[in-house]
Amino acid sequence: MAQEAGVSQSTVSLVMGGKWTGRVSPATARSVHAAAERLGYRPNPAARNLRLGTTRTVLLMVPTLTAPFFGPVYTGAARVATSHGFGVVVATWPDDAEPTGRTTGRTTGRTDGRSAARPAGPSGEGPFAAPHETIDGILASSLGVGSLRGGALGEFAGTPAVTLDSGPHEDVPTVDFGVADGMRAIARHLVSIGHRRFGHVAAGLDQWTFHARAQALEEVVRDVPGGALLREACEIDVASAKEAAWRLLGRPERPTVLVCDDDLIAAGAYKAARARGLAIPDDLSVTGFDDVLLATALEPELTTVRLPAEELGAQGMTALLELLGGTRPRPRVLPGRLVVRGSTAPPHQA
Protein backbone atom coordinates (compact mmCIF):
# COMPACT_ATOMS: atom_id res chain seq x y z
CA MET A 1 0.00 0.00 0.00
CA ALA A 2 2.88 2.36 0.72
CA GLN A 3 4.11 1.99 -2.85
CA GLU A 4 0.62 2.49 -4.25
CA ALA A 5 0.18 5.72 -2.27
CA GLY A 6 3.75 6.90 -2.86
CA VAL A 7 4.51 7.24 0.86
CA SER A 8 6.54 5.42 3.49
CA GLN A 9 5.30 2.43 5.46
CA SER A 10 5.38 4.50 8.66
CA THR A 11 3.08 7.07 7.06
CA VAL A 12 0.65 4.31 6.14
CA SER A 13 0.74 3.05 9.74
CA LEU A 14 -0.01 6.51 11.09
CA VAL A 15 -2.91 7.09 8.73
CA MET A 16 -4.50 3.65 9.03
CA GLY A 17 -4.01 3.73 12.80
CA GLY A 18 -5.84 7.06 13.02
CA LYS A 19 -2.81 8.85 14.46
CA TRP A 20 -1.89 11.07 11.52
CA THR A 21 -3.43 14.38 12.67
CA GLY A 22 -0.69 16.97 13.06
CA ARG A 23 1.92 14.57 11.70
CA VAL A 24 0.73 13.94 8.13
CA SER A 25 -0.97 16.40 5.80
CA PRO A 26 -4.69 15.88 5.05
CA ALA A 27 -3.81 15.44 1.37
CA THR A 28 -1.38 12.62 2.17
CA ALA A 29 -3.96 10.97 4.43
CA ARG A 30 -6.50 11.11 1.61
CA SER A 31 -3.97 9.52 -0.74
CA VAL A 32 -3.38 6.66 1.68
CA HIS A 33 -7.10 6.04 2.16
CA ALA A 34 -7.63 6.14 -1.62
CA ALA A 35 -4.85 3.60 -2.12
CA ALA A 36 -6.37 1.36 0.54
CA GLU A 37 -9.74 1.52 -1.23
CA ARG A 38 -8.19 0.69 -4.62
CA LEU A 39 -6.35 -2.29 -3.15
CA GLY A 40 -9.39 -3.50 -1.21
CA TYR A 41 -7.50 -3.23 2.08
CA ARG A 42 -9.40 -4.10 5.25
CA PRO A 43 -7.74 -3.71 8.65
CA ASN A 44 -7.10 -6.90 10.61
CA PRO A 45 -8.00 -6.04 14.23
CA ALA A 46 -6.05 -8.96 15.68
CA ALA A 47 -2.89 -8.10 13.77
CA ARG A 48 -3.27 -4.44 14.65
CA ASN A 49 -3.71 -5.30 18.32
CA LEU A 50 -0.58 -7.42 18.27
CA ARG A 51 1.43 -4.60 16.71
CA LEU A 52 0.14 -2.16 19.30
CA GLY A 53 0.51 -4.63 22.17
CA THR A 54 -3.22 -4.48 22.91
CA THR A 55 -4.69 -7.95 22.60
CA ARG A 56 -7.49 -7.26 25.10
CA THR A 57 -6.18 -10.13 27.20
CA VAL A 58 -5.55 -10.05 30.94
CA LEU A 59 -3.41 -12.50 32.90
CA LEU A 60 -4.73 -13.65 36.28
CA MET A 61 -1.89 -14.98 38.45
CA VAL A 62 -2.94 -17.20 41.38
CA PRO A 63 -0.99 -19.36 43.84
CA THR A 64 -2.70 -22.61 42.84
CA LEU A 65 -5.44 -23.95 40.59
CA THR A 66 -6.49 -26.63 43.09
CA ALA A 67 -7.75 -24.45 45.94
CA PRO A 68 -11.52 -23.85 45.68
CA PHE A 69 -11.13 -20.19 46.63
CA PHE A 70 -9.60 -19.08 43.32
CA GLY A 71 -12.36 -20.41 41.05
CA PRO A 72 -14.77 -17.64 42.09
CA VAL A 73 -11.96 -15.06 41.79
CA TYR A 74 -11.59 -16.03 38.13
CA THR A 75 -15.37 -16.06 37.62
CA GLY A 76 -15.69 -12.50 38.88
CA ALA A 77 -12.78 -11.24 36.81
CA ALA A 78 -14.00 -12.98 33.65
CA ARG A 79 -17.54 -11.63 34.07
CA VAL A 80 -16.35 -8.01 34.09
CA ALA A 81 -13.71 -8.63 31.43
CA THR A 82 -16.19 -10.19 29.00
CA SER A 83 -18.58 -7.28 29.35
CA HIS A 84 -15.77 -4.99 28.15
CA GLY A 85 -14.51 -7.21 25.33
CA PHE A 86 -11.52 -8.63 27.23
CA GLY A 87 -10.46 -12.20 27.82
CA VAL A 88 -8.78 -13.65 30.92
CA VAL A 89 -6.09 -16.33 30.99
CA VAL A 90 -4.90 -17.95 34.20
CA ALA A 91 -1.44 -19.05 35.33
CA THR A 92 0.07 -20.04 38.66
CA TRP A 93 3.12 -18.57 40.29
CA PRO A 94 6.42 -19.57 38.68
CA ASP A 95 8.77 -21.48 40.94
CA ASP A 96 11.07 -18.51 41.47
CA ALA A 97 8.42 -15.80 41.80
CA GLU A 98 8.36 -13.64 44.90
CA PRO A 99 4.99 -13.99 46.57
CA THR A 100 4.42 -11.74 49.57
CA GLY A 101 6.18 -14.49 51.46
CA ARG A 102 7.09 -18.15 51.61
CA THR A 103 5.81 -21.04 53.62
CA THR A 104 7.77 -21.82 56.74
CA GLY A 105 9.97 -24.81 56.06
CA ARG A 106 9.03 -25.09 52.39
CA THR A 107 10.68 -24.09 49.16
CA THR A 108 7.85 -23.39 46.74
CA GLY A 109 5.88 -20.69 48.52
CA ARG A 110 2.53 -22.11 47.37
CA THR A 111 -0.33 -23.38 49.45
CA ASP A 112 -0.73 -26.82 47.92
CA GLY A 113 2.84 -28.04 47.54
CA ARG A 114 2.51 -28.43 43.78
CA SER A 115 4.86 -27.12 41.14
CA ALA A 116 3.54 -24.01 39.43
CA ALA A 117 3.29 -23.24 35.74
CA ARG A 118 5.62 -20.56 34.45
CA PRO A 119 4.23 -17.76 32.26
CA ALA A 120 7.01 -17.69 29.69
CA GLY A 121 7.68 -18.52 26.05
CA PRO A 122 7.46 -21.45 23.66
CA SER A 123 10.79 -22.85 24.78
CA GLY A 124 8.86 -25.08 27.15
CA GLU A 125 8.85 -22.62 30.03
CA GLY A 126 5.22 -21.55 29.69
CA PRO A 127 2.35 -20.46 27.46
CA PHE A 128 3.31 -16.95 26.33
CA ALA A 129 5.47 -16.42 23.26
CA ALA A 130 6.09 -12.72 23.93
CA PRO A 131 4.49 -11.60 27.20
CA HIS A 132 4.87 -7.87 26.53
CA GLU A 133 2.93 -8.34 23.28
CA THR A 134 0.28 -10.82 24.38
CA ILE A 135 -0.82 -9.48 27.78
CA ASP A 136 -2.41 -6.06 28.30
CA GLY A 137 -2.62 -6.23 32.08
CA ILE A 138 -2.12 -8.44 35.12
CA LEU A 139 -4.28 -9.34 38.11
CA ALA A 140 -1.91 -10.80 40.69
CA SER A 141 -3.51 -12.59 43.63
CA SER A 142 -1.45 -13.03 46.81
CA LEU A 143 1.68 -12.15 44.86
CA GLY A 144 4.44 -9.79 45.98
CA VAL A 145 4.77 -6.52 44.09
CA GLY A 146 8.47 -7.19 43.55
CA SER A 147 7.59 -10.11 41.29
CA LEU A 148 5.66 -7.80 38.97
CA ARG A 149 8.48 -5.36 38.52
CA GLY A 150 11.46 -7.66 38.20
CA GLY A 151 12.88 -11.06 39.04
CA ALA A 152 10.87 -14.06 37.90
CA LEU A 153 8.19 -11.92 36.27
CA GLY A 154 10.56 -9.37 34.80
CA GLU A 155 9.24 -10.21 31.34
CA PHE A 156 6.08 -8.35 32.37
CA ALA A 157 7.93 -5.20 33.45
CA GLY A 158 5.89 -2.18 32.49
CA THR A 159 2.66 -4.14 32.10
CA PRO A 160 -0.23 -2.48 34.02
CA ALA A 161 -1.02 -4.53 37.12
CA VAL A 162 -3.45 -4.67 40.03
CA THR A 163 -2.78 -6.81 43.09
CA LEU A 164 -5.49 -8.81 44.85
CA ASP A 165 -5.43 -9.68 48.55
CA SER A 166 -1.79 -8.60 48.77
CA GLY A 167 -2.07 -5.56 51.04
CA PRO A 168 -1.80 -1.80 50.54
CA HIS A 169 0.98 -0.54 48.28
CA GLU A 170 1.90 2.91 47.01
CA ASP A 171 3.05 1.88 43.53
CA VAL A 172 0.40 -0.63 42.43
CA PRO A 173 -3.41 -0.36 42.62
CA THR A 174 -4.81 -2.80 45.16
CA VAL A 175 -8.01 -4.67 45.94
CA ASP A 176 -7.96 -6.31 49.36
CA PHE A 177 -10.22 -8.08 51.81
CA GLY A 178 -10.94 -6.58 55.22
CA VAL A 179 -9.28 -9.59 56.83
CA ALA A 180 -8.31 -7.79 60.04
CA ASP A 181 -11.92 -6.82 60.70
CA GLY A 182 -12.99 -10.37 59.89
CA MET A 183 -10.57 -11.82 62.42
CA ARG A 184 -11.65 -9.29 65.03
CA ALA A 185 -15.25 -10.37 64.48
CA ILE A 186 -14.30 -14.01 65.08
CA ALA A 187 -12.28 -13.19 68.19
CA ARG A 188 -14.99 -10.96 69.69
CA HIS A 189 -17.62 -13.61 69.06
CA LEU A 190 -15.48 -16.13 70.92
CA VAL A 191 -14.82 -13.73 73.79
CA SER A 192 -18.54 -12.98 74.05
CA ILE A 193 -19.35 -16.64 74.65
CA GLY A 194 -16.67 -17.02 77.30
CA HIS A 195 -13.41 -18.11 75.64
CA ARG A 196 -10.13 -16.87 77.13
CA ARG A 197 -7.54 -19.46 76.06
CA PHE A 198 -7.02 -19.23 72.31
CA GLY A 199 -4.96 -21.46 70.04
CA HIS A 200 -4.08 -19.95 66.66
CA VAL A 201 -3.45 -22.52 63.91
CA ALA A 202 -1.70 -20.07 61.61
CA ALA A 203 -0.87 -20.35 57.93
CA GLY A 204 2.92 -20.46 57.74
CA LEU A 205 3.10 -17.96 54.90
CA ASP A 206 4.88 -14.64 55.18
CA GLN A 207 1.99 -12.83 53.51
CA TRP A 208 0.17 -9.62 54.31
CA THR A 209 -3.21 -11.31 54.68
CA PHE A 210 -1.98 -13.75 57.33
CA HIS A 211 0.04 -11.11 59.19
CA ALA A 212 -3.09 -8.95 59.35
CA ARG A 213 -5.16 -11.83 60.75
CA ALA A 214 -2.55 -12.68 63.39
CA GLN A 215 -2.19 -9.08 64.51
CA ALA A 216 -5.95 -8.58 64.80
CA LEU A 217 -6.34 -11.75 66.87
CA GLU A 218 -3.48 -10.68 69.16
CA GLU A 219 -5.05 -7.26 69.69
CA VAL A 220 -8.40 -8.67 70.78
CA VAL A 221 -6.94 -11.32 73.09
CA ARG A 222 -4.52 -8.84 74.64
CA ASP A 223 -7.42 -6.63 75.73
CA VAL A 224 -9.33 -9.48 77.40
CA PRO A 225 -8.69 -9.98 81.14
CA GLY A 226 -7.09 -13.38 81.54
CA GLY A 227 -6.71 -13.78 77.80
CA ALA A 228 -3.99 -16.14 76.52
CA LEU A 229 -2.88 -16.91 72.98
CA LEU A 230 -0.76 -19.81 71.75
CA ARG A 231 0.25 -20.21 68.11
CA GLU A 232 1.49 -22.99 65.84
CA ALA A 233 2.23 -22.52 62.14
CA CYS A 234 1.40 -24.97 59.36
CA GLU A 235 0.95 -25.29 55.62
CA ILE A 236 -2.52 -24.78 54.19
CA ASP A 237 -2.92 -28.52 54.12
CA VAL A 238 -5.05 -30.87 56.22
CA ALA A 239 -2.17 -33.10 57.37
CA SER A 240 0.09 -30.19 58.32
CA ALA A 241 -2.79 -28.43 60.09
CA LYS A 242 -3.62 -31.58 62.04
CA GLU A 243 -0.03 -31.75 63.31
CA ALA A 244 -0.05 -28.08 64.37
CA ALA A 245 -3.42 -28.42 66.10
CA TRP A 246 -2.27 -31.63 67.81
CA ARG A 247 0.66 -29.74 69.32
CA LEU A 248 -1.59 -26.96 70.59
CA LEU A 249 -4.03 -29.41 72.13
CA GLY A 250 -1.18 -31.13 73.94
CA ARG A 251 -0.16 -28.00 75.85
CA PRO A 252 -0.61 -28.06 79.66
CA GLU A 253 -3.06 -25.16 79.46
CA ARG A 254 -5.04 -26.50 76.52
CA PRO A 255 -6.82 -23.85 74.43
CA THR A 256 -10.60 -23.91 74.58
CA VAL A 257 -10.80 -22.77 70.95
CA LEU A 258 -8.66 -23.19 67.85
CA VAL A 259 -8.76 -20.18 65.53
CA CYS A 260 -7.69 -21.30 62.04
CA ASP A 261 -6.46 -19.04 59.23
CA ASP A 262 -8.28 -21.05 56.55
CA ASP A 263 -11.19 -23.48 56.31
CA LEU A 264 -8.85 -26.23 55.08
CA ILE A 265 -6.70 -25.69 58.16
CA ALA A 266 -9.85 -26.00 60.26
CA ALA A 267 -10.48 -29.43 58.71
CA GLY A 268 -7.08 -30.49 60.03
CA ALA A 269 -7.98 -29.09 63.45
CA TYR A 270 -11.15 -31.23 63.45
CA LYS A 271 -9.03 -34.33 62.84
CA ALA A 272 -6.62 -33.43 65.63
CA ALA A 273 -9.46 -32.82 68.09
CA ARG A 274 -11.03 -36.17 67.36
CA ALA A 275 -7.65 -37.90 67.61
CA ARG A 276 -7.35 -36.36 71.08
CA GLY A 277 -10.83 -37.58 71.98
CA LEU A 278 -12.31 -34.08 72.05
CA ALA A 279 -15.82 -33.35 70.79
CA ILE A 280 -16.56 -30.19 68.77
CA PRO A 281 -17.96 -27.89 70.12
CA ASP A 282 -18.58 -29.51 73.54
CA ASP A 283 -14.89 -29.86 74.44
CA LEU A 284 -13.33 -27.54 71.86
CA SER A 285 -14.53 -24.78 69.56
CA VAL A 286 -13.00 -24.35 66.09
CA THR A 287 -13.23 -21.47 63.59
CA GLY A 288 -12.06 -21.06 60.00
CA PHE A 289 -11.69 -18.32 57.41
CA ASP A 290 -12.93 -17.89 53.78
CA ASP A 291 -16.23 -19.86 53.92
CA VAL A 292 -15.54 -22.18 51.00
CA LEU A 293 -17.87 -25.15 50.39
CA LEU A 294 -15.84 -27.26 52.82
CA ALA A 295 -17.14 -25.14 55.71
CA THR A 296 -20.62 -26.65 55.43
CA ALA A 297 -19.31 -30.14 54.58
CA LEU A 298 -17.66 -30.43 58.00
CA GLU A 299 -19.70 -31.78 60.92
CA PRO A 300 -20.54 -29.70 62.85
CA GLU A 301 -20.61 -26.97 60.24
CA LEU A 302 -17.83 -24.43 60.62
CA THR A 303 -18.01 -20.94 62.08
CA THR A 304 -15.95 -18.83 59.68
CA VAL A 305 -15.63 -15.50 57.88
CA ARG A 306 -17.13 -15.31 54.41
CA LEU A 307 -14.84 -13.51 51.97
CA PRO A 308 -16.43 -12.35 48.68
CA ALA A 309 -14.00 -14.12 46.36
CA GLU A 310 -16.00 -13.50 43.19
CA GLU A 311 -16.31 -9.83 44.02
CA LEU A 312 -12.53 -9.69 44.56
CA GLY A 313 -12.04 -10.79 40.95
CA ALA A 314 -14.73 -8.43 39.67
CA GLN A 315 -13.40 -5.40 41.53
CA GLY A 316 -9.85 -6.26 40.52
CA MET A 317 -10.81 -6.39 36.86
CA THR A 318 -12.75 -3.13 37.17
CA ALA A 319 -9.68 -1.47 38.69
CA LEU A 320 -7.45 -2.84 35.95
CA LEU A 321 -9.77 -1.52 33.24
CA GLU A 322 -9.62 1.90 34.88
CA LEU A 323 -5.83 1.69 34.88
CA LEU A 324 -5.75 0.67 31.21
CA GLY A 325 -8.05 3.61 30.47
CA GLY A 326 -5.58 6.07 31.98
CA THR A 327 -7.19 6.51 35.41
CA ARG A 328 -5.44 5.66 38.66
CA PRO A 329 -7.95 3.44 40.53
CA ARG A 330 -8.49 4.04 44.22
CA PRO A 331 -7.63 1.25 46.70
CA ARG A 332 -10.58 -1.04 47.33
CA VAL A 333 -11.25 -3.01 50.52
CA LEU A 334 -14.00 -5.65 50.51
CA PRO A 335 -15.46 -6.54 53.92
CA GLY A 336 -15.89 -10.10 55.11
CA ARG A 337 -18.86 -11.37 57.11
CA LEU A 338 -18.85 -13.54 60.22
CA VAL A 339 -20.96 -16.69 59.75
CA VAL A 340 -21.67 -18.42 63.07
CA ARG A 341 -22.40 -22.13 62.81
CA GLY A 342 -22.22 -25.19 65.03
CA SER A 343 -18.46 -25.42 65.61
CA THR A 344 -18.40 -22.76 68.36
CA ALA A 345 -19.99 -22.85 71.81
CA PRO A 346 -19.18 -21.60 75.31
CA PRO A 347 -16.27 -23.48 76.92
CA HIS A 348 -16.98 -25.80 79.84
CA GLN A 349 -14.92 -23.55 82.12
CA ALA A 350 -17.38 -20.70 81.49
Please write the tens of the pLDDT for every residue from 39-93: 776 665 555 554 445 678 999 988 888 888 899 999 999 999 999 999 999 988 7
Cβ distance 273 to 280 under 8 Å? yes
Does this model's pTM top 0.85? My answer is no
Q: What is the pLDDT of residues 79-129, one digit of tens each?
A: 999 999 999 999 887 655 544 433 333 222 333 333 333 444 434 454 454
Query: Nearest 5°: CA angle at 262, between 137 and 98?
Result: 40
How far apart are alpha carbons 237 and 266 in whole angstroms? 10
How far apart are alpha carbons 284 and 281 in whole angstroms? 5
Task: Indicate if the pLDDT at residue 346 is higher than 50.
Answer: yes
Show Cβ contacts of residue 230 under 8 Å, excluding neighbours closer than 6 positions. Answer: 197, 198, 199, 200, 248, 251, 255
SS (H, E, C) the chain: CHHHHCCCHHHHHHHHCCCCCCCCCHHHHHHHHHHHHHHCCCCCHHHHHHHHCCCCEEEEEECCCCCCCHHHHHHHHHHHHHHCCCEEEEEECCCCCCECCCECCCCCCCCCCCCCCCCCCCCCCCCCCCHHHHCCEEEEECECHHHHHCHHHHHHCCCCEEEECCCCCCCCCEEEECHHHHHHHHHHHHHHCCCCEEEEEEECECCHHHHHHHHHHHHHHHCCCCCEEEEEEECCCHHHHHHHHHHHHCCCCCCCEEEECCHHHHHHHHHHHHHCCCCCCCCCEEECCECCCHHHHCCCCCEEEECCHHHHHHHHHHHHHHHHCCCCCCCEEECCEEECCCCCCCCCCC
The pLDDT value recorded for residue 94 is 64
**Confidence band for 23, pLDDT divided at 50, 70 and 90:** confident
Task: Indicate if the pLDDT at residue 32 is higher than 80.
Answer: no
